A and B are shown apart, each in its own frame.
Chain A
Amino acid sequence: MERNLHRQLANMKKSLFDQGYLDEQFIQLEELQDAANPNFVEEVVTMYYRDSARLIQNIDHALEKNPLDFAKLDNYMHQFKGSSCSIGAKKLKNECTQFKEYCETGNGEGCKRTFQQVKKEYAALKKKLEHYFQFARQVGPVEKACRPK
């Protein structure tokens, strides 16, 4: 039974990787989890979501302005991207990059569009990770991370 649970958990994780939600960085997070930091990954992710919510809001507000302040947008996005890639949020990171490109070219529409995507991915990942962690807690101590095939 337990093995099944573990396997299920592993599968969940694998699918997250396969679907491109997460990347290597997440693995590194898991590797840092140990006796001294038993819930490290979850802690970091939680911290990330809490902190980045503010950034998302800022970007939203900034996108409502007219004319758009691309420098500021780029600034916010830079911070957001930095955090996002730190937890290994792959898709999110890509969307952020795209957003920054639009900022550089001054493409307001592109920015707005991309940001919708960003928010979507952000929410989706959050749900998936919440689910994952919840399950992991049930399963017990997380196994040592292993790189997805």
Chain B
Amino acid sequence: MVVEEIRGKSGGENGNYDNFPVGMRVLAVDDDPTCLRLLETLLRKCQYHVTVKSQAREALQILRENKDRFDLVISDVHMPDMDGFKLLELVGLEMDLPVIMLSANSDPKLVMKGVTHGACDYLVKPIRIEELRNIWQHVIRRKKFDSGKQNKCTDQINNCQASGQGQMSLMTGNVDQNGKFNRKRKDDDDESEDNGDENEDPATQKKPRVVWSIELHRKFVAAVNQLGIEKAVPKRILDMMNVEGLTRENVASHLQKYRLYLKRISSVATQQANMAAALGIKDSPFVRMSSLDRLGDFRNLAGSGRFANTALSPYSANGMLGRLNSPGGVNLHNLTSSALIQPNHAQNLSNSMSNAGKFHPVITPGSQNGSLFQGSLEMDQLQKNKCTTEITNFNSMDDSRMFTAASAFTNTGEAIGSSSNYLNGDPNNLMMLHGNSQQALSGGFGNQSSLNMASFNAESLNGGVGQSSNFLDHGKFNETWQTIQLPKVQSNTLFSAEHLQDQLPLNTVRDNNSSNSPHLQNNPLDISSTTMASRPLEDSRGEIQFQEGLVGQNSDTIFGSFDFNIPANGNLPPSSKSLDQSTGIFNRKMEMVVNSRLPGGASTLMQRNEIEQSNTDSRRSNENFLLEQAKLQGGFVSQSYGSLDDLVNAVVKREQDGNISDGNFGFDDYSFGPGI
């Protein structure tokens, strides 16, 4: 290690310093203060530039604030507010940073889980300093193979000592479980398109990191849709998008992630995580859709949280759902295009978001969905619940957001927490979710909203969940209900999904609710707010406000649009009709699926969820659920995506069964829980 002064690279850039790895910027996350302190000191000893956070939410927040502020993230697996794996996925999706997992548990299953979620390494506590001396390799490796960022790799590689071989333990990009391992692996398959000229001469020239904003993503999705997912090649997509400054590599890498995301969505859809199973569903590794790496976008969506109740329905109309018909099954594209989400909504949302949570309860159909979705995504991610992605109500969210959300959602492989409950992880749900995500994505909300959104979503989702608790007497559906809560959640979506994740286990949600109960009671939105409120929402502070604002929304509308079939309740009122109108097919499907009557239904659902989830799991499901919901919203409409149909069917079936216990759409339920 070269002992030299660290070239100041604060924040802004990608740490392109000559003395790399000295000065490598690391973000360390661990809830245990003793371990965190130790880790910090060890890292400092290695001459890295360290920032510590004891909460995953906070970590996500600062990461989102500035993606380029860090080179590497090290996170504990076992954390109370968010599952380390979820954080891992989110970071990978949104920021595309290498993440190293840390745990006292060396169980191979967990290690594998880390791998499948995209961790680039897995260290066992107590950590020795020698292990940390080599972690810079992950940064280099990523940069080197990252088609979009060819900057300093060569230089850095030159500078670095050759010790690299270190622990490639998890780094094997080849760990492709069902294609889950989706860290960009240039040398693999998909990248073939990239291979060509990509590595131009890149080593020396520093390309700014491309941020896939909602708008950009929307264009991307539209282009892909137009070309057809099978035939979409980066060059053509690039041409179609016609964005200045965007390179084929950027598109290629984004495409790869997107594909993975789609794959993941579909695989998620096929697994039905037992949502009902108390949201604690863990495992089913959802293929991480790294494609959606620009979760940020959808975060924005989430932020917009404008889940206007009404929006929900209209949203669908926007065909966000329709978008789901890309061959890939994820009509994210569609969503984006239809972007019901009105730009202004997005803006509003963003504005609101930026206003620290003054979310205008403008729930634009499109935007909302996005946000919802987003939230759900977040939630989803957090909660490994296979929420039924019946987030149909996410109409308003940007497609991109939705997408992002969805992706985030899917990526984490966790059923959208809430949604999962909702549909029992039906593949359909997945679709729905997906759709929602799309919508969310299309929201194109501002960046900051994204942040909020993300968190918000989570929150909202949770909120929803929380709400559900209010509503639902039977906590059975917790998971599923969560989705339903989406409508409410919409406002919540603003809440950072993280929040949701953090703690919104359904149970928690419930608690949350209680804290805000008065608030919640009034609105579905309330629920979300409640949930949010109770959480130590750091990010979502503004969101909460938002929620509150939203809360005022007619839950009915929201719910109505949701039309989540909350099988769990078994008595989902066919409110989905409203959805139908707006979302067309989606609505229909949603109806089937969600007959959630929202105010009541949702609550039931939520409650169920809550009940189901005993802890973080539930939270996750909520999130998932929300995500799902969001997804559903957007994506349902025309799903060409087979799963949507399945989803719907499933939903219908579910209805019949009157038991949506496994609302999770086959999303994994990350158990935050024990022993991670």
Residue B233 lies at the interface, judged by CB distance under 8 Å to chain A: no
Q: How far is the CB of A91 from chain B (nearest CB, A)?
A: 15
- Does A72 have its Cβ within 8 Å of any Cβ on chain B? yes
Contacting residues, chain A, for B673 (C-beta < 8 A): 71, 75
Flag if A87 contacts B34 (CB, 8 Å).
Answer: yes
- Is residue B243 within 8 Å, beta carbon to beta carbon, of the partner chain? no
Q: How far is the CB of A44 from chain B (nearest CB, A)?
A: 6
Which of B35, B105, B676 has a CB less than 8 Å from the CB of A83? Answer: B35
A78–B35 contact, CB under 8 A? no
Give residues of chain A (1-48) contacting chain B, Cβ–Cβ below 8 Å.
25, 28-29, 31-32, 36-37, 40, 43-44, 47-48
- A72-85 toward B: CB 8 Å interface, digit per residue (1/0)? 10110011011101
B33 touches A51 (CB 8 A): yes
Cβ B34 vs Cβ A48 within 8 A: yes
A82/B37 in contact, CB under 8 A: no
Residue contact B674 to A44, C-beta cutoff 8 Å:
no
- Contact among A51, A74, A79, A86 for B38, CB-based, below 8 A: A86
Q: How far is the CA of A15 from the CA of B42 in the complex (A)?
A: 26
CB-based contact A85/B125 at 8 Å: yes
- How many residue pairs link A and B with beta carbons under 8 A? The number is 66
Chain A residues with CB under 8 A of B674: 71-72, 74-75, 78
Q: Is the CB of B104 within 8 A of A82?
A: yes
Q: A86 near B126 (CB under 8 angstroms)? A: yes
**Complex CA–CA separation, A83 to B38 (angstroms):** 10
User: What mask results when residues 74 to 110 of chain B are scored 1 for a CB within 8 Å of chain A, else 0?
Assistant: 0010100000000000000000000000011100000
Which B residues lie within 8 Å of A43 (CB)?
Answer: 37
Please give me the residue from chain B that is nearest to A83 by CB atom: B34
* One of B33, B128, B675 near A28 (C-beta < 8 A): B128
Residues 111-135 (chain B) with a chain A CB within 8 angstroms: 125-126, 128-129
CA distance A28 to B44 in the complex (A): 14
Contact pattern, B 588-628, Cβ under 8 Å of A = 1, otherwise 0: 00000000000000000000000000000000000000000
In this complex, which of B37, B674, B676 has the most chain A Cβ atoms within 10 angstroms of its Cβ?
Answer: B674
Q: State whether A78 touches B105 (Cβ < 8 A).
A: yes
Residues in chain A near residue B161, CB distance under 8 A = none
- Give CA–CA (A29, B35) in the complex, Å: 11
List residues of chain B with CB within 8 A of the CB of A32. Answer: 38, 41-42, 45, 129
In the assembled complex, B200 has its CB within 8 A of some CB on chain A: no
B32 at interface (Cβ–Cβ under 8 A)? yes
B35: A residues at CB distance < 8 A: 82-83, 86
Tell me the chain A residues, 47-74 only, with Cβ under 8 Å from chain B: 47-48, 51-52, 71-72, 74
Find the A residue at minimum CB distance from B675. Answer: A78
Contact B41 A37 (CB under 8 A): yes
Chain B residues in 8 Å Cβ range of A72: 674
Are B41's CB and A40's CB within 8 A? yes
B652-676 vs A, Cβ < 8 Å mask (1 yes, 0 no): 0000000000000000000001111
Contact: A51 with B126, CB < 8 Å? no
Write the nearest CB–CB distance from A9 to chain B, whole angstroms: 22
Question: In the bound complex, do residue A44 and residue B126 qualify as a contact, i.e. CB atoms below 8 Å apart?
Answer: no
Q: Which residue of B lies closest to A78 (CB)?
A: B675
A98 smallest CB distance to B (angstroms): 15
The A-contacting residues of B in range 11-69, CB under 8 angstroms, are 32-35, 37-38, 41-42, 44-45
**Would B675 and A83 count as touching, CB distance under 8 A?**
no
Chain A residues contacting B125 (CB-CB under 8 Å) are 82, 85-86
Please name all residues of chain A whose beta carbon is closer than 8 Å to the beta carbon of B76 when the two chains form the complex. 82
Contacts of B33 in A (CB 8 A): 47, 51
CB distance from A99 to the nearest CB of B (A): 13
Asked if residues A78 and B38 are in contact (CB atoms below 8 Å), the reply is no
The contact of A44 among B38, B45, B129, by CB within 8 Å, is B38
Known pairs A28-B128, A75-B674; A51 contacts B42 (CB<8 A) = no
* Nearest-Cβ distance from residue A53 to partner chain B, whole angstroms: 12
Name the one of A31, A36, A37, A86 contacting B34, with C-beta atoms under 8 angstroms. A86
Contacts of A83 in B (CB 8 A): 32, 34-35
Across-interface contacts of A86 in B (CB, < 8 A) = 32, 34-35, 38, 125-126
- Of chain B, the residue at the smallest CB distance from A100 is B675
Q: Inside 8 A of A79's CB, which chain B residues have their CB?
A: 32, 78
Chain B 556-613 residues near chain A, CB threshold 8 A: none
Decide if B41 touches A85 in the complex (CB within 8 Å): no
Q: CB-CB < 8 A to A37: which residues of B?
A: 41
| Complex Cα–Cα for A79 and B105 (A) | 10
Q: Complex: how many Å from CA A89 to CA B125?
A: 13
Contact of A82 among B32, B41, B42, B129 (CB under 8 A): B32
With the chains together, A36 CA to B40 CA distance in Å?
13
Q: Which A residues touch B45, using CB under 8 A?
A: 32
Complex CA gap A135/B299 in Å reads: 54
Q: How far is the CB of A45 from chain B (nearest CB, A)?
A: 8
Contacts of B675 in A (CB 8 A): 74-75, 78
The verdict on A47 contacting B34 (CB below 8 Å), with A72-B674, A75-B675, A85-B104 known, is yes
Q: Complex Cα distance A28/B128, Å?
A: 8
B38 touches A82 (CB 8 A): no
Minimum-distance CB pairs A-B, first 5: A75-B674, A82-B104, A48-B34, A25-B126, A83-B34
Residues in chain A within 8 A of chain B (CB atoms): 25, 28-29, 31-32, 36-37, 40, 43-44, 47-48, 51-52, 71-72, 74-75, 78-79, 81-83, 85-88
Q: List 27 A-B contacts (CB under 8 A).
A: A29-B38, A32-B42, A36-B44, A37-B41, A40-B41, A43-B37, A44-B37, A44-B38, A47-B34, A48-B34, A52-B34, A71-B673, A71-B674, A74-B674, A75-B78, A75-B673, A75-B675, A78-B78, A78-B104, A82-B104, A82-B125, A83-B32, A83-B35, A85-B125, A86-B32, A86-B34, A87-B34
- Other than A78-B104, A78-B676, A82-B104, give 14 A-B pairs with Cβ distance below 8 A: A32-B38, A32-B42, A36-B44, A43-B37, A44-B34, A47-B33, A47-B34, A51-B34, A74-B675, A78-B78, A81-B104, A82-B103, A86-B38, A87-B34
